[in-house]
Chains A and B, each alone.
Chain A
Amino acid sequence: MQATGIAKDLGHGVAQIRALKGVDLALRGGELTLLMGPSGSGKTTLLSILGCMLTPTEGTVQVRGESIAGKAAEDLAKLRRENIGFVFQSYHLFPTLTAADNVRLALDVRGENGKAARDKSRAALARVGLTGKTANYPRALSGGEQQRVAIARAVVGDPSVILADEPTAALDSENGKAIMGILADIAKDPGRGVLVVTHDPRLVPFASRIVHIEDGMIVREEAGGAARNS
C-alpha cells in the first residue's frame, strides 16, 4: 500500500480544517509499522484514508498498484474486503454471533461460505490461540480474547494489509503484549504489511518501523525495536 502527498480537509466553511498536510507513507510486506502521534495529529484520518473509507482531498492511495481515486463506495468496499483486514480499538464484534461466526463473517461478505469457510475460521481462531472458544459469544470472552477474535477476523481472508487502530488501548499490559505478539507474528509474512496506530510507547519493541505524525504531517521515521533486535 502506497500513500503519496495525502491531504485531507475536514468540515466546511470557516470550520474547515486541514487534518492531513501532504503525507507520504508506504506499507511494505513483512513489516509491522507503528503510526504514533498525539491526539488530533491526524492518525485516525490517515487510517480511514488508507482503509479506503475516506477519499483524500489531495494525493493518491494505491492498493496493490490500484489507485482508489474516483472509485465509487461499492468499489472501495470491494477493495477493502479483498485486500485489507481491520482491527479496532473496541473490537466491534457482533454480540449475537459466536467467535467462529464473527470470523466467518469476513469470508461470508466475500461470498465464501460452506465447510471451507468454517474450516478457515477455525484455523484463524487456532492461530490466535482460541481453539477451545470457537462457540463462545463475545460476552463470554475477556477483552484480550475478544481482540484475538477481531484479529482472526482480520486475517482470515488473507489480506495484504492489516490496519489496527489502537488495538491494545482497552487491554491491560499483559494482554496488550500478547496482542502485539500476535500482530508481530502476522507481520512476519512477507506478503503482508501491518500498520498499528497507537500512542503507547510500550509497543515500540514489536515494531519494524515507527512513523511519527504531528499536526497532519509525518515528522519522523525510525526503526522499531524488532528491527533493531534483528
Chain B
Amino acid sequence: MPLVFTLAFRNLFHDRLRFIATVIGIVFSIVLVTVQMGLYLGFGQMVTTMIDHASADLWVMQKGTKCFEDPSLLDTRQRSRALSVPGTADAIPVVIGFSDWRTPNGSSTPVFIVGADLRSGGLEPWNVVEGRVEALSTPNAVAIDRTYLDRLGVAGVGGRGEIRQQSVRVAAVTNGIRSFTTTPYVFTDVDRARSYTGTPASKATYLLIRLNSGTNVEQARRELVSSLVDVEVLTPAQFGERSRSFWLFGTGAGAALFAGALLGVIVGTVIVAQTLYSSTKDHLNEFATLRAIGSSRRYIYKVIICQAMLSAVIGFGFAYLIGLAVVHTTASSALPIVITPELSVGLFVLTVAMCVVSAIAAIMKVTRIDPAMVFTR
C-alpha cells in the first residue's frame, strides 16, 4: 500500500469521533442532494407520463400550449385537414380537463379527465389490474387508479359516482397512474370527456397524429404546421421537454429543488473543510517534519487530498445506501424519487469534488508551514 495512502488513512482514523462527524456531514449533504435531484428526475418523469404512454408520432395542439395539463382547445375541423396531409394515418382527438367527482355519500373531489377515441386507442389507461380497457366503450364507463379508490368513494370495478351530474361507473382499475398534483386521473371516451369537462363537440385539446410506417416524421411535422391554422405540432420528445420545462422552471419547482441541492453541497463542503482543516492543524507538527525531511509540498497535498478522497468514498457509500432506501420507500408515492445510473455517477463525482474543494483550506494551511518549527517543538 502506498505510504501516502497509509498516512492519510491513519490520520483520518486516528480521531474516530471527528471522522464519524465528517462522514455524517457528507452523508447528510449527499442524501439531501440525492433527494432533491431524485425528486427532480421523478418530477420530470411524472409530468410527462401521459405523453410517454400515448401512442402518437406527433401531437397537434393550440399555439402556446405549455404542458399536457394545459386545457387550451383547438377546432376539430383541423382533424380532416391533418388527415389530408400525406403520410398521416390517423388523427385521434383527445380531450382533457378538470372536473368534480361526487361520491355516493355526497362529498366531491376534483378529478382530471383524460378522454380519447377508444376505437383508435391513442391514449388509453395502462397497467390495468381490474376490469378491461375495452369496457370503457360501454355507457358511463370510466377507469381510475386504485390509489384513489378511497378518495373517490368506490371499492373497485362496478363502483359508482357522478361527474357533472352524470352518473359514472368504474369499468377498469389501473395501478400506478398517479398525478404529481395528486388529482386523480379519470380515463374515459372522448365524447364523454367533453361532456364531463364542458368542452364543445367541435373542440378537442389535442390531436394525436399517427403516421404511416416509413414516413419522415420531421417532414410530416412541417407539412402539418403549414396545413393547419394556429396550432403547434410537436414530437412526443419535444412536448415532453416543453412540459418538463414548464413545470420545473416555469413554476419555480425546479429552482427550489436545485436550491435545496446547492444547500446540501454547501453544507457538506463546509463540514468537510472544517474537519480537514482541524485534522491538518492537529497534524501540523507531522507535516512540518515531513517538510523538514525534504518532502515536497506536492507530497503533503497528496496526503490531504487522499484524506479528502477517502472521506468522500466512505461518505458516498453510506449516502448511496440511504438514497436507495429512500427510493424504495417513495416508489409508490405521488412523487417518487428516482435515481438513475447517470445520477449515481454524477453524485459520486460531486462528492469527490466537494471533498477535494474542501481540502483547499487545509492545503493553504500547510503551504505556509515553516519546517524550522520542528526545532522548537
Binding site for B on A (CB under 8 A): 44, 47-48, 51, 53-54, 73-74, 77-82, 84-86, 88-90, 92, 94-97, 101, 104-106, 108-110, 113, 153, 165
Contact = CB atoms under 8 A, between A and B. Distances in A.
Contacts of A86: 292-293, 374
B302 to A, nearest CB: 10
Given A53-B372, A109-B293, A109-B294, A96 B14 contact: yes
Contact of B293 (A73, A80, A165): A80
Interface stretch (B1-9, B38-46, B247-255): B1-9
Interface string B284-296: 0110011111111
A96 B11 contact: yes
Given A84-B294, A105-B3, A105-B290, A44 B376 contact: yes
23 contacts: A44-B375, A51-B372, A74-B297, A77-B295, A77-B296, A80-B292, A80-B293, A81-B293, A86-B293, A88-B374, A90-B377, A92-B286, A92-B377, A97-B6, A101-B3, A105-B3, A105-B7, A105-B293, A108-B2, A109-B294, A109-B296, A113-B2, A113-B3
A80 B290 CA distance: 11
A108 B296 contact: no
User: B289, B294, B299, B374: which has the most chain A beta carbons within 10 Å?
Assistant: B294
B372 A74 contact: no
B19 to A, nearest CB: 13
Nearest to A77: B294
Q: Is the interface of B mostly helix, strand, loop or mixed?
A: helix
B10 interface: yes
Interface residues of B, number: 27
Given A92-B285, A109-B290, A74 B296 contact: yes
A96 B3 CA distance: 12
Contacts of A84: 294
Contact of A88 (B7, B294, B299, B375): B375
A79 B299 CA distance: 16
Contacts of B11: 96
Nearest to B367: A73
Closest CB pairs A-B (n = 8)? A81-B294, A96-B10, A109-B295, A80-B294, A53-B372, A92-B289, A108-B3, A48-B372
A101 B4 CA distance: 11
Contacts of B376: 44
A82 B293 CA distance: 9
Given A86-B293, A97-B7, 14 more contacts: A48-B375, A74-B297, A77-B295, A77-B296, A77-B371, A78-B296, A85-B293, A92-B286, A96-B7, A106-B293, A108-B2, A108-B299, A109-B299, A165-B375
